[in-house]
Structure 1
Amino acid sequence: MSEKDIFKWTDSLSVGFDEIDLHHKKLLLILNKFKETLELPEAEYKAQIGKIVKNLSDYTEYHFSEEEILMKANGCPGYEDHCKIHADFVAKIKQGLAPLVSGNKQTGAEFSTFLGDWLLDHIAVADHQWADYIHSKE
C-alpha cells in the first residue's frame, strides 16, 4: 500500500475535544485496516471484510451518538441537519456491506476511498463548525 492511500490524522483535524479526537483517530484506524484488507488474497479478504465494515458501522454509530449528545447539550445550531448527515452516512455504510462481501476488491477500494474522503471532509468542515461554536461559548 502506498503512503498516499492511507487516511492520516493531522492536528488540523482536531476539534479540541480529546474524546472526540480519539474517536476520529479510531475511525481512521478502522478505515486504514479496511484499506490493508484490500491487499490480502481474495479468500482472506472475503473472510475479513464483513467484520471490518461491521466494526466501522458500529463504532461510527457510537461516535456519532456521543458527538450528538455534546452538540445537543451545547445548543449547537444545525444540530438536526448534522444528525441527518450522520444517519445518512451510517445507512450508506450498511448499504455498502452486501456488495463488499461478494469479494470484489474494486468495489472495496472504491468504497473505502469514499468512506475515508467523506470522514476527513466531515471532520474538517462539519465537525469544526459545531466545535468552534462550543469553544466560542467558553
Structure 2
Amino acid sequence: MAKSAKSELVTWSSTFSVGIKIIDDQHKGLLDLTNDLFNHCIGDEEAEREYFKKVVKQLVDYVKLHFSTEEVIMREMKFAGLPDHKREHDAFVLKVVQQVKDFNEGKKFALPAFTKFLKNWVLTHIAISDKQYFEHLKTIAARNSDGSLSIPGTGQGKTAAD
C-alpha cells in the first residue's frame, strides 16, 4: 500500500542557507533524501526494510561526500571550529553506521524512527553548527562582481553565494 501523493517532511527555506552554494545544494539533497525516506514510511515493515536496503548506500555515500566538502571548505578558510564540527560529523556517521549494522543483522528497524532522527539531526546541524562557519566565512570572504563570495588565497573562486 503506497502513499498516493508525495509529501514533504521538511521544506527547504532560505533560513537553512549557509550561503555557500555547493553546501546549500547538498543540504537540499539531504532534505530530499529525508523526504524520500519519509514517503516510504507506509506502515509495511517488510516494504520499508526493502526500500531502506536499496537506498542506504546512496544515503551513506551522500553524507560522506557532503561532510568531506564541508570539512575541505572549513580547512581552507582556517575555521577554528573545524575539530568540533568534524566530531559532530563523525558521531553522526557512527550512529548511522550502527543503525545500518543493526539493520543488516536483522535487528528491529523502524524507518519512521530513522527518518525522524535524520530530519532532526540535519536541521539542527544546519541551523546551528553550519551557520557558525558561514559567520566566519562572511568575515574573511571577498565579494565578487556577481555578488557571490570567495575565500581569498584558497583557489575557491565563487564558492559562496548570498
TM-score of the superposition, structure 2-length normalised? 0.75
**Looking at both structures, which has the greater relative contact order when contacts are Cα pairs under 8 Å and sequence separation is at least 6?**
1
Taking structure 1 as reference, are residues 103 and 33 closer, same or farther at Cα in structure 2, changes over 3 Å only? farther
Partner of 1:68: 71
CA pair 4-77 structure 1, distance change in 2 beyond 3 A: farther
Deviation readout 1:22-75 (Å, 9 max, x if unpaired): 000001111111111111644432221122222111100100000000000000
Query: 1:96 maps to which residue?
Result: 99
Which residue, 23, 31, 34 being the options, matches 2:37? 34
Whole-angstrom distance in 2 between the partners of 1:17 and 1:137: 13
Matched, 1:44 2:47: yes
* CA-based RMSD: 2.3
Name structure 2 gaps, 5 residues minimum: 142-162
- For residue 91 of structure 1, report the CA deviation from its aligned partner: 1.1
Tell me which of 76, 79, 82 is aligned to 1:79: 82
Q: 1:3 to 1:45 in 2, by over 3 A?
A: closer
Structure with greater proportional strand content: 2
Shift of 1:83: 0.7
- Count residues in correspondence: 137
Query: TM-score, normalised on structure 1?
Result: 0.87
2:119 matched to 1:116?
Answer: yes
Choose from 126, 130, 134 the match for 2:129.
Answer: 126
Alpha-carbon contact 2:16-2:127 (below 8 Å) kept: yes
Q: Secondary structure in 2 aligned to 1:75? A: coil
- Which structure shows the higher helix fraction? 1
Higher gyration radius (CA): 2
Pairing 1:23–2:26 present: yes
Q: Distance in 1 between matches of 2:29 and 2:108?
A: 25
